[in-house]
Amino acid sequence: MNRLEILGNIASGKTTLCQGLHNEGKIAVFEDFQKNPFFKDFYDDPIAYSFETEITFLLQHYHSIKKQKETASLACDYSLLLDVAYADVNLAGDRHKLFLEIVKELQKEIGSPSQFVYLVCPEEILLQRIKIRNRDVETTITIDYLKSLSKAISLRVNKIVSQIPVVTIDSDAIDFRADIKGIRQLDVI
């Protein structure tokens, strides 16, 4: 399977890019964050609900990829590597270690993606986008949290870049909603 996983911070354009790739012929799989029963609780109290939130997202992502095993070319608006970066920020100690062990086990079955698309964007822009999309649960997201996620994602990408191709895109410079020509020019189609 040729699997492309898109990773980036909150509101970096993952879903919009994936939709554009879908419109250009890729089979797309989208994260349905609302199906995670712990999502709202996490934003209400991140410390209390981080483990179940992160594990649920991981299993949802794994399951979606597993179901598409026979698909020749797949684009995901999420990434198990991104799940690990979230865990780096939101989990500590034994729970973080357990999470990483589960990821290793799941990747034995589904393998690694063929390619990553890494969307980078200044945190100030991300926060603006979060405010514009106006999701009630995201009102507590801070610039510091976005910076922590950006750093964790960057560290994880730097560890994997020698093993799996990574296309890095400044998602502040390309409007994936309006610029289908820009999507066509990406080295991911």
CATH number of the domain enclosing 30 = 3.40.50.300
183 band by pLDDT with thresholds 50, 70 and 90: low
Instruction: Please tell me the least confidently modeled range out of 67-76, 94-103, 121-130.
Output: 67-76
Contacts of 86 (CB under 8 A, 6+ apart): 54, 57, 149, 152
**Nearest-10 Cα torsion for 61, 64, 67, 69:** -70
The values of phi and psi at residue 69, to 5°, are -50, -35
The DSSP result for 2-69, as a single string, is EEEEEEESTTSSHHHHHHHHHHTT-EEE---GGG-TTHHHHHH-HHHHHHHHHHHHHHHHHHHHHHTT
Which range marks the domain in which residue 16 is found?
2-185
Tell me the per-residue pLDDT of 17-56, one tens digit each, with 9 for 90 and over.
999 888 888 899 999 988 999 988 998 898 999 999 999 9
More confident site: 39 or 58 = 58
Given a cut of 80, whether residue 86 has pLDDT beyond it is yes
What percent of the chain has a predicted confidence (pLDDT) above 70?
94
Given a cut of 60, whether residue 180 has pLDDT beyond it is no
Number of domains within the chain: 1
- The mean pLDDT value for 79-95 works out to 97
Encoded amino acid at 17, one letter: L
Give yes or no for a contact between 124 and 132, defined as CB atoms under 8 angstroms apart: no
Encoded amino acid at 138, one letter: E
Tell me the per-residue pLDDT of 91-119, one tens digit each, with 9 for 90 and over.
999 999 999 999 999 999 999 999 999 99
What percent of the chain has a predicted confidence (pLDDT) above 90?
74
More confident site: 135 or 96 = 96
- pLDDT at residue 189 in the model: 46
